[in-house]
Amino acid sequence: MDVLRKFAAGYPVLAVTGPRQSGKTTLVRATFPEKPYVSLEDPDRLESATADPRGFLGLYPDGAVLDEAQRCPSLFSYIQTKVDLDGRSGLFVLTGSQQFGLLSKITQSLAGRVAIIELLPFSLEELEAAGKAPKDVDDLLFEGMYPPVLAKGLDPSPWFANYVMTYVERDVRQLVNIRELSLFRRFLRMCAARTGQLLNLSSLANDCGITHNTARSWLTVLEASYIVFLLPPYFRNFGKRIVKTPKIFFFDPGLAAWLIGVKDREHLAIHPMRGPLFESFAIAEIVKGFLHRGESPRVFFWRDSAGNEIDLVIERGEDLHAYEIKSGKTVSADYFRGLKRFSAIASGARVRPEVIYAGEEESVRDGIPVRPWRALPKVAVSLH
């Protein structure tokens, strides 16, 4: 809430975007209770805004919250005119589930007048503050972090099934022309099975029976919908041959776990994808820490041709924060090899290595901090 209020004090328009069911509407209405709320998913409101944009905005002389604002593209130019004439900050708050639908229209009409906040599913920090943090990391990986599942104590499996059906039926078809939804669902499952791996679009396309260009287009849809994100490789200032292919990750481990067929927590504990799911969760937590504060993170991974690898590298000024992420609950000597190798060859950079693991105890080994998964909120805060 504090971040939203801060930006609303400096910009005439605030835009909150993110995946469906991430709590955008709830957050915005709680932050700005004094503003009228208008959902443009309501056919009557949408018709009114489309037929007479100037008259529609005239109903809200002191601004409003416009939910799913991208459904009325013609409204944005009129909002620009209105805020320019009015001169006040924080007049309109826009929300939208589709990154392309909302942000593309903002860049066309409201550039320089709008602050953008990307709201993802709950962070561990938010769960702890609400007393909803799970007791065990496997519970978190299985249930995921979408607000409806955790706030209402829902069974995650049927909720994810309905979520994917709704997402595919509605959002995907608005972003791209997909004739065979079953192929797209298969593509989504195949992406989940590749969580934490180097992205190989040709292999992904072949496994799904689609063309390379189609796979690229559909992956863009998943990124635009905040289902997946690509982690680029870090290759600055290194003379060695470095891998330059991005990795694919899911923002929510529970959704990825459901897509790959994880049946319950016990199944997850022995599943071969538990490690990649934990890595996806840890990296997404740190990315959330940036996005929820209105910052664009400079996050990478690093791997050389000899197989040496660092799971996460973050640029902060002259510092390189390097993280080895391990799903084991017992600290092992091999957790530190990649970090030591990276520190030795990252000439000219000040490397700050850390280990994040699925255990419960915090310690220091060979001068390298070892953080349990519960410390991820502190790790995220330390980067700001």
> What are the domain boundaries of the chain?
2-118
Q: Compute the distance between CA of residue 372 and CA of residue 354 in angstroms, rounded to an integer.
A: 11
Q: What local confidence, expressed as pLDDT, does residue 177 receive?
A: 72
Q: What local confidence, expressed as pLDDT, does residue 59 receive?
A: 96
Neighbouring-strand partners of residue 117 = 16
Centroid of chain to Cα 287:
7
Radius of gyration of the chain (CA): 22
Q: What local confidence, expressed as pLDDT, does residue 44 receive?
A: 95
Q: Compute the distance between CA of residue 156 and CA of residue 158 in angstroms, rounded to an integer.
A: 6
Which DSSP symbol is given to 21? T
CB 66 within 8 A of CB 38: yes
Structure tokens at 199: 């992205």
Q: What local confidence, expressed as pLDDT, does residue 50 receive?
A: 94
Beta strands in the chain (DSSP E): 13-17, 37-39, 64-67, 92-96, 114-118, 228-231, 247-250, 299-303, 309-316, 319-326, 350-357, 363-365, 368-372
Q: What is the pLDDT along the chain (384 residues), one digit of tens a residue?
A: 788 999 999 999 999 988 888 889 999 999 999 999 999 989 999 999 999 999 999 999 999 999 988 888 889 899 999 999 999 999 999 998 766 666 676 777 787 888 888 899 999 999 998 888 888 999 999 999 999 999 888 999 999 999 998 877 777 777 777 777 888 999 999 999 999 999 999 999 999 999 999 999 899 889 988 899 999 998 765 555 567 789 999 999 999 999 999 989 899 999 999 999 999 999 999 999 998 888 888 999 998 877 788 999 999 888 899 999 999 999 999 999 999 988 888 867 799 999 999 999 999 998 999 999 999 998 887 877
Which DSSP symbol is given to 15? E
Give long-range contacts, CB 8 A cutoff, 24+ apart: 180-185: 183/208, 183/209, 183/210, 184/218
Select from 334, 329, 371, 333 the least CA-distant residue to 352: 371
Q: Compute the distance between CA of residue 65 and CA of residue 80 in angstroms, rounded to an integer.
A: 15
Domain spanning 2-118: which CATH class is it, in words? alpha beta
Q: What local confidence, expressed as pLDDT, does residue 240 receive?
A: 56
